[in-house]
Structure formats: structure tokens, C-alpha cells
């Protein structure tokens, strides 16, 4: 590990998460899969609403927003976005207003995450563009508009994918290293779901920067793996620069295709992954992120049995619960 325990500790931070999150052995899953040691890093339990992994990113995003004197957070995402709901709650907690921009018209049936964002006090703007891929420039334009009105906006791209957002996971890599030391094992592989790329970028920055021996493998759930890999590398390098750590190289970024039938659409394998995790490890995995990352973990085990392996559970609890209620056949009216 790096000699300097103080790396990045001077960055402004708004405490949101309860850390460290548990690292637990999934022995039931090991037996079910006939595999060696599988450990789960429980970032579904970061303890701030149902923010999961996004709590770690928002600690540093809100930290910087507060430090520069912002009074309104501007963010965007799809109506299913965990990040938007978490951003709304984090902004309220830090005393900032929150404006959230969504693509397409306001849905008739709103997702739990949109409801949560509204309940947390965010102002919701629908139909600002047609698709989520077009959102980032509109976030900047919205922030410019607010600035012209005398407000002090802090704009973040989809998923909070900036070097600042990634810092939380560079710290998390060290958190995992300390827990593995204590438990007496060294992981060979760490598997994580990758969307906007900030989570994997932070993990790679921390892993390379602190000389940790494992390999981080990302399951790209919403973009072609090559595109996600470029984004992860760019963010990881920027994050390392910010932290004064040695930067990762191209070979440090490993992103695998995991979209299956599409973002948020579970394949048969993904459904099996979620069911195995639920029944054998008591884990709730959502069809957008967790189930697809678990499918990748199963593929990696089948390829070369890369254990000890760590499955980084990133949250997605609201969508995981919705998926269970959609797929569980009715057992009749409640008594
Ligand atoms: C539950 C969950 N897991 C994983 C991710 C992926 O994280 P990132 O966007 O940092 O790649 C997200 C992003 O929204 C998420 O909500």
C-alpha cells in the first residue's frame, strides 16, 4: 500500500455514508456455484437513503459544492436513476437546492427514485431532451441560466461522473485493502457494475495508486465495453492527478460487456444471478447493475476460477425490490 495514509484526506467532504461498509464471506453462494472464496463488499449498506455506491461519490461532490459556495446542485439522469434520488437527498442534507433534469416527458407512473427525489425537495424538469445520452450539455446550459439569475450552481454530469466523484472510490479501495488484511486474504479480482464509470475509475485509481495487487473488472451495463473503458481510464487518471497518486495505464482498466438485452433489461442469466444471490447470500440485486455484475462474476469463475473474488455490491435496492414484486407469482389475496 502507499506509504502516505493522508492521501486525499484534505479534500472537502460532506459526511453521508456510514463507513466502512461490511465485507462478508458469501459461503452459501460459493457452495451453490461450486467456487472458491467469494466475498461481498456491502455498499448497498452505505446507510444514506438507498444511495448505495452514490453516497461515496456525493460525499466529495457536495463537499466541493459547499466549499465553492454553491447554493444549487444541478444534476440529471434517466427516470430510474439512483444517482438523481441520492443527489436530491444529499443536496437537501447539505442545505443546497437541487434541480434534476430528465429526458422525455414526465412518466405517468413515476419510479420510486423519481418520487424519492421529489419527496427530498428537488425541483424536477422533464422533457429537457429526448434521450439520456443528450443530458450533459443541457445540465451546463441550465447551470448557466441559473448563474445569469444570480444563483451559484454546481453542475454534475450523469452519474456524478467526475474526478471529484471518483475520489470516494479511491478511498474505498484502501478501505477494502484494510478489511482484506484483517480477514487474512488477498483478492485476485474485484468485480463491480459500471455505468457512468466513476465507481470503477475510483477503484482503479486507488488500486494502482496504492499498489494493491488485485485486478478490478467492470461489468459495463449501459455502454459498449470499449467506450466505458475509455471513460473509466480518463476519470481514473484525473482522479489520481487530483490525489497526487501515480496514474493508471491502459492495461489497468478491464471493462467487460454486460449489457445483455439492454440497460435495465435482465437476461435469463441475470435473473438466475439475482435469484442465486438472494437465495444463497441474502443479497438484493437489481436488473440494471447488480444482477449483470453477478452474471459477469459467474463468467469469470467459469473462465479460470479467479478466487478469492470480491463482488462489490453497489446498491440499487429500490429497483431490486421492484423486480422481485414483478417476477414473484401471486400467491393469492393476503389473509
Ligand atoms: C446501483 C448502482 N450500481 C452501479 C452503478 C454504476 O456506477 P457508476 O455510474 O459510477 O459507474 C450505479 C450508477 O448509477 C448504480 O446506481
Question: Is residue 153 lining ligand 1, measured as CB closer than 6 Å?
Answer: no
Cβ(199) to ligand 1 under 6 A?
yes
Which of 60, 170, 288 should be mutated for ligand 1, with most atoms under 8 A from CB? 288
**What's the rounded mean pLDDT across residues 29-38?**
97
pLDDT band at 306 (very low <50, low <70, confident <90, very high): confident
Full set of structural domains in the chain with CATH: 23-52+162-327 (3.40.50.1100), 54-160 (3.40.50.1100)
3-state secondary structure at position 216: strand
pLDDT band at 328 (very low <50, low <70, confident <90, very high): low
Question: Is the C-beta atom of 113 inside 6 A of ligand 1?
Answer: no
Check pocket membership of 314 for ligand 1, CB cut-off 6 A: yes
d(CA 313, CA 331): 30
Write the DSSP symbol of residue 107.
P
Q: Beta strand pairing status for 72-76 and 189-194? A: unpaired
Any atom of ligand 1 within 6 Å of the Cβ of 231: no
Model confidence at 21: pLDDT above 70? yes
Residues found in the chain: 335
Ligand 1 atom nearest 169 alpha carbon:
10
User: Ligand 1 in contact with 197 (CB < 6 A)?
Assistant: yes
Residue 23 has phi, psi (to 5 degrees) of -115, 115
Q: How confident is the model at residue 327 (pLDDT cuts 50, 70, 90)?
A: low
- Spatial CB neighbours of 335, under 8 Å, sequence gap ≥ 6: none
Each residue of 161-179: pLDDT tens digit?
A: 999 999 999 999 999 999 9
Q: Is 310 exposed, middle or buried (0-12, 13-18, 19+ CB in 10 A)?
A: buried
Whether residue 162 has its Cβ less than 6 Å from ligand 1: no
Q: How far is the CA of 149 from the centre of ligand 1 (A)?
A: 33
CB 36 within 8 A of CB 30: yes
Query: At residue 195, what are phi and psi to the nearest 5 degrees?
Result: -115, -90
Residue in the structure block whose three cell numbers are 442469466: 269
335 alpha carbon – ligand 1 mean position (Å): 39
Distance 331 CA to ligand 1 centre (A): 33
> What digits encode the pLDDT tens for the residues 175-203?
999 999 999 999 999 999 999 999 999 99
Helix (H) or strand (E) holding 74: strand 72-76
Give pLDDT tens digits for 217-275. 999 999 999 999 999 999 999 999 999 999 999 999 999 999 999 999 999 999 999 99
Q: Measured over all CA atoms, what is the biggest interatomic distance in the chain, rounded to whole angstroms? A: 61
Q: What are the Cα distances from residue 125, in Å, to 50, 86, 100? A: 22, 16, 6
Amino acid at each position: 500500500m502507499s506509504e502516505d495514509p493522508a492521501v486525499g484526506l484534505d479534500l472537502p467532504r460532506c459526511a453521508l455514508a456510514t463507513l466502512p461498509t461490511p465485507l462478508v464471506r458469501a459461503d452459501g453462494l460459493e457452495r451453490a456455484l461450486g467456487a472458491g472464496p467469494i466475498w461481498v463488499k456491502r455498499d448497498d449498506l452505505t446507510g444514506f437513503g438507498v444511495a448505495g455506491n452514490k453516497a461515496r461519490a456525493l460525499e466529495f461532490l457536495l463537499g466541493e459544492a459547499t466549499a465553492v459556495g454553491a447554493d444549487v446542485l444541478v444534476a440529471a439522469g434517466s427516470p430510474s436513476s439512483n444517482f438523481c434520488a441520492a443527489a436530491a437527498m444529499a443536496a437537501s442534507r447539505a442545505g443546497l437546492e437541487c434541480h434534476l433534469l430528465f429526458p422525455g416527458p414526465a412518466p405517468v407512473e413515476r419510479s420510486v427514485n423519481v418520487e424519492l427525489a421529489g419527496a427530498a425537495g428537488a425541483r424536477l424538469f422533464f422533457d429537457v431532451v429526448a434521450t439520456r445520452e443528450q443530458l450533459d450539455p443541457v445540465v451546463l446550459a441550465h447551470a448557466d441560466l441559473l448563474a445569469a439569475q444570480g444563483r451559484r450552481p454546481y453542475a454534475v454530469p450523469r452519474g456524478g461522473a467526475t474526478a471529484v466523484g471518483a475520489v470516494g472510490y479511491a478511498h474505498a479501495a484502501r478501505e477494502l485493502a484494510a478489511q482484506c488484511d484483517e480477514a487474512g486474504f488477498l483478492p485476485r479480482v474485484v468485480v463491480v457494475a459500471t455505468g457512468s464509470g466513476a465507481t470503477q475509475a475510483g477503484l482503479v485509481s486507488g488500486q494502482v495508486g496504492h499498489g494493491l495487487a488485485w485486478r478490478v473488472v467492470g461489468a459495463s451495463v449501459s455502454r459498449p465495453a470499449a467506450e466505458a473503458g475509455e471513460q473509466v481510464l480518463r476519470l481514473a487518471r484525473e482522479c489520481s492527478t487530483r490525489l497526487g497518486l501515480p496514474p493508471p495505464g491502459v492495461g489497468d482498466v478491464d471493462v467487460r460487456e454486460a449489457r445483455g438485452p439492454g440497460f435495465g433489461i435482465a437476461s435469463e442469466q441475470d435473473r438466475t444471478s439475482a435469484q442465486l444471490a438472494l437465495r444463497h447470500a441474502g443479497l438484493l440485486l437489481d436488473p440494471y447493475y447488480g444482477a449483470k455484475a453477478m452474471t459477469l462474476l459467474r463468467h469469470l469463475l467459469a473462465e479460470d476460477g479467479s478466487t478469492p473474488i470480491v463482488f462489490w455490491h453497489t446498491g440499487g435496492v429500490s429497483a431490486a425490490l421492484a423486480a422481485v414484486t414483478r417476477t414473484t407469482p401471486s400467491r393469492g389475496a393476503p389473509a
